[in-house]
Amino acid sequence: MKKKWILLVMVLVVPAMLFSVSCAKKSVSTEPVVDTAAEEEAARQAELEKQRELERQRQLEEERLAAERAEQLRAEAEERERMLAKNSFLNENIYFAFDESTLDYQAQELLKQKAVWLQDNMDANVVIEGHCDERGTNAYNLALGERRAESVKMFLVNLGLSDSRMTIISYGEEKPVDMGHNEEAWAKNRRATFVLQ
């Protein structure tokens, strides 16, 4: 019986021991698997995004500079236009026929343009100067120059401008622009001029 027990133990225990040894967990040491391709792709994508952002920033800066330059050019053009309009207002004279203070069609059209400038420049006050040629007495020419300046002022007032913005003065024959003694010179001297106060 002892033998049976031994045999039984050997038949049951030995295979169980072998089985348990064979099923024992083996500890395997493994290094973590590094996916270098994925890391390289991620780094490449990050670099591309960085480059795209730099390009966006560069384009925004170029657009900002272009907008600033366009605004500067627009402001300079407006300033040139204002200066041209002002010079036109000051330098384009109203001319009169001999011994006349009435405004012809050309003078009226020019005064309409001057009225627009005065309406656009409400802070501007103007002196209207009346001038004559050398023919006639000093007293007569001073009176004629005053009538010419007054005629210009009244035309502008009738266009809606305040007479308080305009002053008249007559220089008669005292300030000729042409010193000649002929009709060409006299025609240039029969005029109304404008000076800003």
**Residues 70-87: pLDDT tens digits?**
999 999 999 999 899 899
pLDDT of 16 reads: 62
Residue 152 · residue 111 · CB < 8 Å: yes
Residue 111 · residue 153 · CB < 8 Å: no
Q: Per-residue confidence at 63, pLDDT binned at 50, 70, 90?
A: very high
Pairing of strands 166-172, 94-95: unpaired
* Residue range 106-148, pLDDT digits in tens: 999 999 999 999 999 999 999 999 999 999 999 999 999 999 9
* Residue range 141-169, pLDDT digits in tens: 999 999 999 999 999 999 999 999 999 99
- Cα 115 to Cα 49, 146, 148, 192: the distances in Å are 61, 20, 17, 15
Residue 111 falls inside a structural domain: yes
Q: Quick check: helix, strand or coil at residue 170?
A: strand
Does this model's pTM top 0.75? My answer is no
Tokens linked to 77:
């053009």
Residue 39 falls inside a structural domain: no
Residue 123 falls inside a structural domain: yes
Instruction: Supply the range of the domain harboring residue 110.
Output: 92-196
pLDDT of 7 reads: 64
* Residue range 14-57, pLDDT digits in tens: 666 665 655 555 555 566 655 788 888 888 998 999 999 999 99
Residue 41 falls inside a structural domain: no
pLDDT of 111 reads: 96
Residue 13 falls inside a structural domain: no
Q: In the chain, where does DSSP find H-type helix?
A: 2-22, 36-91, 105-120, 138-158, 183-189
Dist CA 130 CA 147 (whole Å) = 8
**How many distinct structural domains can be found in the chain?**
1
Q: Is the pLDDT of residue 10 over 80?
A: no
- For residue 104, the domain's CATH number is 3.30.1330.60
Q: Which of 99, 91, 141, 149 is nearest to 117 (CA)?
A: 91
Residue 129 falls inside a structural domain: yes
Residue 75 falls inside a structural domain: no
Residue 72 falls inside a structural domain: no
Which stretch of DSSP H or E encloses residue 131?
strand 126-131
Residue 107 · residue 151 · CB < 8 Å: no
